[in-house]
A and B are shown apart, each in its own frame.
Chain A
Amino acid sequence: MTAAVSLITLLIILGSSIAVAAGMGLTGVLLNQFYSSMPMTRILGELTWSTTSNFILTAIPFYIMFGEILLRSGIAERMYSSLMQWLSWLPGGLMHSNVGACALFGSVSGSSVATAATIGVVAMGEIDKHKYNEPLFLGTLAAGGTLGILIPPSINMIIYGVMTDTSVPKLYLAGFLPGFILTVLFSLTVLIACIWKPHWGGNKIETSWEERIRTLPDLLPPLVLLAIVIGSIFYGVATATEAAAVGIVGALAITAWRGRLSLVMLRDVCEATVRTTAMVVAILIGAFFLNVIIQTIGLTQQLSRLITMYQLSPVQVLMAVIALYLVLGTFMEELSMMISTIPITTPLMVQAGYDSVWYGILIVLLIQTAMISPPFGINLFVIQGIRGRGKLTDVEKGSAPFVIALLIMIAMICIWPEIVMWAPRMFG
């Protein structure tokens, strides 16, 4: 009963377009009034202070800042031209470079929107130049962009890790192999589509080994940053949070080397970082408070009792959770969807016997799917925004094959959990 009332309250409040941060806080206050004799609002001050001055959470602004600097460093365009030399011989041409560039940029960026926007802006001019099938080309960018949160670093993994008490370095380790497989799956999707309909693949692009070798150094900056950030975590030199700080300094060095460092640029970086950070932190404050209330009124226990009562098997619980996210993902904003649901779903999944690291990767894959599922998919909007012509349906249509690729990936990690778990087990 409590569970039903709580969920309905939350749905009504969030559904009435109240700012998500305030909506979750408000739900917490209301539930506390109804179901608990303890006035838990009193903890709000201490909770907010301890949450926002938590060193682990500084990873969030650090990775956001890292991305903002990279964006202004001018590495993306050169990286893309180089990948164009290396990957465009495949059937589907530049669309493979799109996927590859997204994966590479995703390995230094922790955000899917930033990845899609950056590579999207660089690549968009090529559609007309080489006569690609427009929807499919747009689809590679929208879907490729989602790799930003699966391939570490990842802002979503940090938020998940903090909220569910899961090790962020382990989540990072776990993300690599699925990230690699998914990149290959996306490329395969393009390959199959272009073997089936060869004219979708556009004109052949002239490349030469000489050019390939010449542009090779342009791939270095992202690879070096990747090596520094991820390497320092895995060799134990730095924690996941410290590594983000190292990334910032590295990105600044590259920006300076490219002659891009200026006070105006730094000011823009600071302003953009703080605005995005505050927005995320506001939601986290609301969510942490709601989380405490949920625990005090025993909501999770109620739900698990329900599961025992109906004798749901772990597989059934898993299916229910996946179905829930696929439905929510079609209309809910992705970040709020994740933050408002994981405090409830994670304990359930862990109780059903699933590892919280594995579940974290599953959540990330489900969020990626949500990002390119209409009607609400943030990456669809980003790509349509860059394109600035035609209809959104083109992007939706072009992304559909990649939704299937994502579903295959989700099925794969459900059938073979080792894809996710071997790395954290080996190195963790």
Chain B
Amino acid sequence: MQRLQAMAAGISRVGAIVGGALLLIASIVICIDITLRYTISKTLGGADELSGYALAIASAWGLSAAVLTRSHIRIDTVYVRVRSRVRAALDMLSLAALIFFFSLVTYYAWGVFKQSWTSDSHSLSEIQMPLILPQGLWVAGLAFFVVVCVLLLARGLTAFLAGDLDGLFALIGSKSAVAEAQEEVINVEKAFAQEREEKEREEREQERKP
């Protein structure tokens, strides 16, 4: 099961990076579009539509990346004040709720996709995008999210039955806001480490000069 989870983590990471890349490309296309619009009053057409699709696909695939890093927001006012067994139960309950609601979403999203498939829908714009393309990727991302949640719940349950509560918290526990803040800080510090090094090098060089 651990192998399965590692695989899921790999897939969701690729999904997130590709989703992000789609958004990045969309932003560049929008800039080109604006430039064209204001210089030769022409547009590429469909730049905004495409970035909408990028958002739908990226956010659907990002859901699993977020649950694997325990980033979905939970309100832990009560959570931090109860015994660890209760906390473990709440963790599983939260995951079960995610599975319930997003199964519904995925089920009806599948309906939307099937509808576009059978009626061969195209978007009402210049680019006439066949809707099954973005919607297919979108539904796949949602479905993958549900699968990952089920997998996590199964692993959490196994850990719970084995009495390994710490293992369960590491998998699906609510990340405290403090830990969340800590991560943000580590991110920023990582980004700045390079800058510091460069600055120090510059300073050393300047000292050497005279």
Contact = CB atoms under 8 A, between A and B. Distances in A.
Given A278-B63, A278-B66, A376 B16 contact: no
A333 B134 CA distance: 33
Interface residues of B, number: 80
A76 B56 CA distance: 32
Contacts of B59: 52, 61, 274, 277-278, 281-282
A25 to B, nearest CB: 4
Contacts of B177: 333, 376, 378, 381
A271 B30 contact: no
A48 interface: yes
Contact of A25 (B27, B51, B101, B187): B101
A22 B97 contact: yes
A385 interface: yes
Nearest to B64: A278
A381 B101 contact: no
Interface centre among B52, B55, B107 (most CB of A within 10 A): B55
Contacts of B61: 274, 278
B180 interface: yes
B101 A29 contact: yes
Given A49-B135, A274-B19, A382-B181, A266 B24 contact: yes
B75 interface: yes
Interface centre among A53, A74, A249, A267 (most CB of B within 10 A): A53
A26 B58 contact: no
A270 B19 contact: yes
A46 B112 contact: yes
B55 A45 contact: no
B105 A285 contact: yes
B73 A283 contact: yes
Given A45-B110, A53-B52, A65 B27 contact: yes
Interface string A204-222: 0000000000000000000
A277 B54 contact: no
Contacts of A45: 105, 107-112
A135 to B, nearest CB: 18
Interface residues of A, number: 85
Interface in A131-174: none
Contacts of B184: 113-114, 117, 382, 385
A238 B32 CA distance: 12
A245 B26 contact: yes
A336 B24 contact: no
Interface string A379-396: 001101110000000000
A58 B55 contact: yes
Interface of A: 13-23, 25-26, 29, 41-46, 48-49, 52-55, 57-58, 60-62, 65, 71-72, 74, 76-77, 113-114, 117-118, 120-122, 232, 237-238, 241-242, 244-246, 248-249, 260, 266-267, 269-279, 281-283, 285-286, 331-333, 335-336, 376, 378, 381-382, 384-386
Interface of B: 13, 15-17, 19-21, 23-24, 26-28, 30-31, 34, 38, 48-49, 51-56, 58-63, 65-66, 69, 71-79, 90-91, 93-95, 97-98, 100-102, 104-105, 107-112, 134-135, 138, 142, 174, 177-178, 180-182, 184-185, 187-189, 191-192, 194-195, 199
